Amino acid sequence: MHVQTLMMEGAPAVQLRGPAGDVVTVLLRGAQVISWVDAHGVERLYRSPASALAGPQAVRGGVPVIFPQFNERGPIMRHGFARTRVWEWVPTDETSAEPQLVFRMQHAAHETPLWPHDCMCTLTVSLLPAGLRMALAVRNTGRTTLRFQAALHTYLEVGEVTRTVLNGVLPGEQPLSLAEPIDRIFMACPGPLHLHAPAGDVRLEHSAFADVVVWNPGAAAAPADLPPGGHARFLCVEAAVIAEPVVLVPGADWVGAQTLYSSVL
C-alpha cells in the first residue's frame, strides 16, 4: 500500500496504490474518485478530457458524490453541494489489511439557507481484491431532523455503449439494452448488477442505497463538456437513494456503499 498527494491539472488529489498494483485517485474537490486502474492495469472509470478538474463546474466523469439532493428534486442547486466542496483528506493507518482513503466534509446550517442542517459526510474509498468500494456516511451533527437524497454517480468505461448490456435492474433477469439513450431510475433495486461491455465486465453491489440510476445521453443530447463521440465511451450506473429520502434525527448515522468488481474479457 502506498499513498501520495499530487496535483492533477491544477487540482489537488490523493492517490492510493494497492498491493496488486491497482490504483485509485481521488480529488479533494468533491472527494471525487477520478480514476480506478484495476489490478489488470485497466482503467474502469470514464473521465471526459474536456472537463476541467479544477472547476468551477463539477467534473464530468469518475464518481461524483451527489448530496443532499438528487438532480432538481429539491430547493438547492442541482445534485447538491457535496460534489463541488473541498473535502478534507483524513490520513489512516497504511498498514491496515484493506487499503483505503478517507475524506470528510463538515456542513453548517448557515452555509445553505434552503437546507439549514448541520451534518458531517465521510467518504471511504477502499481497494479490495479485484474491486473498489466507496462508502458514504452521513451523521446528523445538529439539533434538527434532516432529510436527504444521495447517489454515487459512477461513470463506467464501457468502450462502446451501444454494445453494452446491464443485468439486474429489470425483473426476471431480463437484460437492459443500451442501444438507445437512457435516463431512468430503477426504484427498489437490490442488485447485484452485472455489466457486460466491450471494455470488460463489471459486477456492481450496493447496500443501503435502495435505487439505481442508469444514464447515457446519446449523441444528440451529449453535454458540452464531452468530446465528440465521448458519450459512447461510458455508462453511468449509480447507487442511489431517491424515492424515499433518508431521515436522520439528531445524532443519527447512515452509511451507503457501492462496490465494483472487475474482470477482463
- Tens digit of pLDDT for each residue in 183-241? 999 999 999 999 999 999 999 999 999 999 999 999 999 999 999 999 999 999 999 99
Is the Cβ–Cβ distance between 156 and 44 less than 8 Å? yes
How would residue 264 be classed by pLDDT, with cut points 50, 70 and 90?
A: low
Q: What percent of the chain has pLDDT over 70?
A: 98
pLDDT at 72: 87
Lowest mean pLDDT among 49-63, 87-101, 113-127, 184-198: 87-101
Q: Answer yes or no: are the C-beta atoms of 145 and 247 closer than 8 Å.
A: yes
Tens digits of residue pLDDT in 143-163: 999 999 999 999 999 999 999
For the residues 35-58, what does the mean pLDDT come to? 94
Q: What is the pLDDT of residue 265?
A: 43
41 pLDDT band (50/70/90 cuts)? very high
- The residues near 261 (Cβ < 8 Å, ≥ 6 apart) are 128, 130, 131, 202, 203, 204, 205
Average pLDDT over residues 69-76: 92
- Please check the confidence at residue 119 and state whether its pLDDT lies above 80: yes
Where in the chain are the domains?
2-263
**Looking at domain 2-263, which of 2.40.440.10, 2.70.98.10, 2.60.40.10, 3.50.50.60 is its CATH number?**
2.70.98.10
Distance between CA atoms of 199 and 156, rounded to whole angstroms? 10
pLDDT of 97 higher than 90:
no
Length of the chain in residues, anyone? 265
Q: What is the mean pLDDT of the chain?
A: 95
Instruction: Please check the confidence at residue 261 and state whether its pLDDT lies above 70.
Output: yes
